[in-house]
Amino acid sequence: QVQLVESGGGLVQAGGSLRLSCAASGSIVSISAMGWYRQATGKQREWVAIINTGGVTNYADSVRGRFTISRDNAKNTVYLQMNNLKPEDTAVYYCNAVVKVVFDHLAKTYWGQGTQVTVSS
């Protein structure tokens, strides 16, 4: 019913920048929180950033001051601007969204398929 499609990953040198996008589509009535997670090889998935409908944001300590999350409610899209990237930021980045769909009164969390970010030293 809902698809989240990420884009914008790639290979960048340390100190560089990337901007990730995640667009939600489907039978969407409303989206509340949207966020980003990441999973490095051999590690558990970890939370990176979150933004609510009103634009209030929060970040993991490891990315605060370097990453910025934003959203375009009209486009059902969330972004992650990543600056001053470090090799330890290398991971698959996943977006998620808490979505209410048509004919379902319960909001559910949906995930994207992930996009690879690789930071070389």
pLDDT tens, residue by residue, 105-118: 899 999 999 999 99
pLDDT tens digits along 51-94: 999 999 999 999 999 999 999 999 999 999 999 999 999 999 99
Q: Which burial class, exposed, middle or buried, applies to 89 when counting CB atoms under 10 A from its CB (0-12, 13-18, 19+)?
A: buried
Instruction: Report pLDDT for 110.
Output: 97
Distance, CA of 95 to CA of 52 (rounded, Å): 13
Q: How confident is the model at residue 1 (pLDDT cuts 50, 70, 90)?
A: confident
Q: What is the mean pLDDT of residues 36-57?
A: 97
